């Protein structure tokens, strides 16, 4: 008999609950977001208000859909090492429906955010007229809703199979989840590309990049992995997963975060390098806009936050294995994702004399904290509704015997 199957089970932990301090902090973040957004709207600054809303809504939506994508990828790769921490990404998927609904409210500010949403502007612009069959509000709403509905349907099937396995045991749920995960990844590639095109890339309606969806996908993977690492490390620090999540599991999770950090740098550099080298006006416009009007310092800080600092911080082995080392890096990556979304959205708002200028993102950060706080509260509610560990998963013994 293999060591994996002879491994004795630790005492089953009680249902997980976020620390009271984290719940209180999440509530304060929600209040900060409401105050920030409310102030922007009351000031009559529609561009600031709606760009803040878009940044926060997309940030949180990315975390929700990441939960399902992560589960699907680990099912497909047979990642048994992650079984005991699966409740964290499962709880993240609880945001997909409310987060999708909140994200679609962005269409209420479409005339402020999206140049192509004005019929008069489109009629006088040859390029926008050419894109109009795809780039219009009706298609935005229809394809956006379809994407969210598909994500919710796959969540019900894949996460539902995990719940069924908790009750009945057996390997049937694992097999069905693996098959549905393969199908989901196909639809995810299509729908997430569409969502990233509409919500973010179309802010610069005259610009396009065939790598943009890959870049946004990498953002979501890096940030989602950071959120999982943060929550698992906090739960381990609180002694809630003792015996089920060890330094070996944290090590693999830390290596995933380290790998996505390097992959982000590769994708971002490839997009920038190809645009710089080709020097085609309709492509360089994106980076030129973010190098003018005071935006250049903010742009130069991005690779430091997203790659250099987290990459160097996670080089040591202990940085991937110790919760105290993993938590600050995860928090930095979450902040870096906000910074990148800020640079994607804020410089694209306004045209001509009303073009946005570089500024400290105080209101934008408050709005994103509000969405992140609300996401964390929903996540915590979903986490506490089910057993802490999938004790009837056939791969549990292999997971407990895992060493890295």
- Give the pLDDT of residue 14: 81
Q: Read off the pLDDT band of 6 (50, 70, 90).
A: very low
* Per-residue exposure over 347-386, b if at least 16 CB sit within 10 Å of its own CB, e if not: bbbbeeeeebebeebebbbbbbbbbbbbbbbbbbebbeeb
Integer Cα distance of 261 and 376 in angstroms: 23
Give the DSSP H/E element, type plus range, for residue 114: none
Asked if 283 and 207 touch (Cβ cutoff 8 Å), the reply is yes
Integer Cα distance of 84 and 322 in angstroms: 17
Integer Cα distance of 61 and 102 in angstroms: 9
Position 8 pLDDT exceeds 80? no
Task: Tell me the average pLDDT across 137-147.
Answer: 97
Cα angle vertex 144, ends 138, 149, to 5°? 125
Position 13 pLDDT exceeds 80? no
State what percent of residues in the chain have pLDDT above 70: 97
Q: Which two tokens stand for residue 329?
A: 């890096």
User: Tokens 């990315």 correspond to what residue?
Assistant: 62
- Give the pLDDT of residue 352: 60
Integer Cα distance of 84 and 240 in angstroms: 12
- Give the pLDDT of residue 353: 62
Nearest to 86 by CA among 391, 340, 311, 404: 391
Q: Which three-class secondary structure string do you get for 371-385?
A: HHHHHHHHHHHHHCC
- Give the pLDDT of residue 92: 98
Q: Read off the pLDDT band of 404 (50, 70, 90).
A: confident
Length of the chain: 404
- Give the pLDDT of residue 236: 93
Q: pLDDT digit string (tens) for 199-238?
A: 999 999 999 888 999 999 999 999 999 999 999 999 999 8
Task: Tell me the average pLDDT across 14-35.
Answer: 94
Integer Cα distance of 394 and 352 in angstroms: 61
Task: Tell me the average pLDDT across 84-111.
Answer: 96
Position 5 pLDDT exceeds 50? no
The average confidence (pLDDT) of the chain is 93
Position 166 pLDDT exceeds 70? yes
Task: Tell me the average pLDDT across 249-254.
Answer: 96
User: Tokens 């610009």 correspond to what residue?
Assistant: 207
Asked if 347 and 356 touch (Cβ cutoff 8 Å), the reply is yes
Q: Is 163 exposed, middle or buried (0-12, 13-18, 19+ CB in 10 A)?
A: middle
- Within 10 Å of residue 12's Cβ, how many Cβ atoms? 11
Position 379 pLDDT exceeds 80? yes
322 φ/ψ sector (left φ>0, alpha ψ -120 to 50, else beta): beta
Q: pLDDT digit string (tens) for 65-84?
A: 999 999 999 999 998 999 99
**Domain segments of the chain: what residues?**
27-400
Position 90 pLDDT exceeds 80? yes
Q: Who's near 279: CB < 8 A, 6+ residues apart? A: none
Position 305 pLDDT exceeds 90? yes
Nearest to 148 by CA among 156, 137, 159: 156
Integer Cα distance of 303 and 295 in angstroms: 14
Name the least confident of 58-62, 279-283, 297-301. 279-283
Nearest to 400 by CA among 19, 73, 7, 136: 7
């Amino acid at each position: 008999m293999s060591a994996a199957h002879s491994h004795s089970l630790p005492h089953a932990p009680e249902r997980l609950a976020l620390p009271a301090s984290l719940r209180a902090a999440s509530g304060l973040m929600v209040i900060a977001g409401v105050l920030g957004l409310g102030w922007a709207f009351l000031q009559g600054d529609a561009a600031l208000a709606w760009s803040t809303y878009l940044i926060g809504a997309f940030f949180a939506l990315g975390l929700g859909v990441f939960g399902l994508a992560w589960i699907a990828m680990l099912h497909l790769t047979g990642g048994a090492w992650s079984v005991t921490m699966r409740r964290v990404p499962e709880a993240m998927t609880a945001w997909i429906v409310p987060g999708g609904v909140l994200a679609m409210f962005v269409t209420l500010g479409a005339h402020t955010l999206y140049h192509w949403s004005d019929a008069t502007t489109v009629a006088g612009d040859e390029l926008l007229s050419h894109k109009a069959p795809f780039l219009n509000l009706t298609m935005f709403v229809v394809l956006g809703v379809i994407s969210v509905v598909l994500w919710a349907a796959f969540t019900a099937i894949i996460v539902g199979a995990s719940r069924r396995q908790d009750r009945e045991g057996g390997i049937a749920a694992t097999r069905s989840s693996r098959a549905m995960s393969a199908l989901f990844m196909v639809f995810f590639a299509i729908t997430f590309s569409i969502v990233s095109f509409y919500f973010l890339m179309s802010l610069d309606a005259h610009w396009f990049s065939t790598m943009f969806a890959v870049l946004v996908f990498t953002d979501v993977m890096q940030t989602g992995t950071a959120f999982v690492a943060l929550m698992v490390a906090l739960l381990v620090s609180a002694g809630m997963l003792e015996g089920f999540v060890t330094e070996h599991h944290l090590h693999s999770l830390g290596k995933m975060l380290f790998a996505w950090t390097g992959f982000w740098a590769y994708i971002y550099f490839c997009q920038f390098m190809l645009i710089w080298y080709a020097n085609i006006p309709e492509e360089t416009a994106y980076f030129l806009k973010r190098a003018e009007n005071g935006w250049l310092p903010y742009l130069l800080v991005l690779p430091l936050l997203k790659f250099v600092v987290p990459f160097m911080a996670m080089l040591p082995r202990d940085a991937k294995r110790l919760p105290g080392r993993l938590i600050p890096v995860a928090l930095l990556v979450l902040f870096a994702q906000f910074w990148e979304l800020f640079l994607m959205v804020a410089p694209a708002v306004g045209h001509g004399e009303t073009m946005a200028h570089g500024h400290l993102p105080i209101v934008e950060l408050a709005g994103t904290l509000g969405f992140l706080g609300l996401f964390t509260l929903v996540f915590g509610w979903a986490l506490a509704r089910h057993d802490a560990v999938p004790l009837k998963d056939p791969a549990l013994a292999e997971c407990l015997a895992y060493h890295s």
